[in-house]
Amino acid sequence: MVIKLNELPKHSSISIIDSAKLDSELEEWPELLRVKRPDITPAPAPPDSIREWLNQGWEDPSSEVSHLSSRNRGRRNDITIVEEFDDDSIRVDAFEGWAKLRDRWAEQERPAREALKVFTNLREIHSRLKRESELIELILGDGILRVKSGQGSFFHPILLQKIELEFESEGPSLVIRQSNDIPQLYEELLQQLPESGSTISEFAKSLSEGFYHPLAGVETTRLLQSLIHSLDPIGR
């Protein structure tokens, strides 16, 4: 499972560390990411006069609200009786008034529902890590390498940092903190590229001598750009 930090929803329940607070001299690493379970609110209830006319999905803030244009009301003298939605102006006004209220709710609710998906995904990861701690690990990555070679196609970050995921019942919240390991280059992947041996060694040394973190910003970006240009002059 992959969670892209730059695609996290903008919501008060999600907080990510400011890169300016990252420092190699920190005695205790601060939390990198915190996701609190957001409060979810239901859609405003529609008036009884239009409830049976509404199409499915009106309770989902990601869906557009709509209604049936007509409904069969039974048969009389072997003739099907059809009622048009627009036949009742009071019903039309009721729908339009409720739809505006519901749209305002949906606009505010969508980020909360998206944040809940992030919380749920992290909860599933946390549960799996507890079950399979010897088989899987959680990694923070930066610098996506996309390449096709004789060994296959690759799409993977090349600067890796092991991280830890904790569940806090108060909130409840899921918190990602950095482990004690330092960031590493994904050398096994880079070695699939031609003539990469000396370049990898050089940049692995730079990594050990400086502070290059997947969330550290400009300096890390410069290192990754320099690395890819050394491997491929037209790489990006």
pLDDT in tens, 35-51: 999 999 999 999 999 99
Q: Give yes or no for a contact between 51 and 40, defined as CB atoms under 8 angstroms apart.
A: no
**Mean pLDDT, the chain, as a whole number?**
86
Report the alpha-carbon distance of residue 208 to residue 140 in Å, rounded. 17
Looking at residue 152, its pLDDT comes to 67
User: How many CA atoms lie within 13 Å of 35's alpha carbon, on the beta-carbon side?
Assistant: 24
Peptide linkage before 46 cis (omega within 30 of 0)? no
Residue 215: is its pLDDT beyond 80?
A: yes
- Between vectors from CA 88 to CA 82 and to CA 91, what angle results, nearest 5°? 115
Q: How far apart are CA 61 and CA 102, in angstroms?
A: 9
More confident residue, 190 or 194: 190
Highest mean pLDDT among 3-7, 28-32, 153-157, 172-176: 172-176
Look at residue 27 and tell me whether its pLDDT is greater than 70. no
User: What residues does each domain of the chain span?
Assistant: 39-136, 138-231
The answer to whether residues 158 and 146 touch, using CB atoms and an 8 Å cutoff, is: no
Q: What per-residue confidence (pLDDT) applies to 71?
A: 84
What is the mean predicted confidence (pLDDT) over 93-106?
97
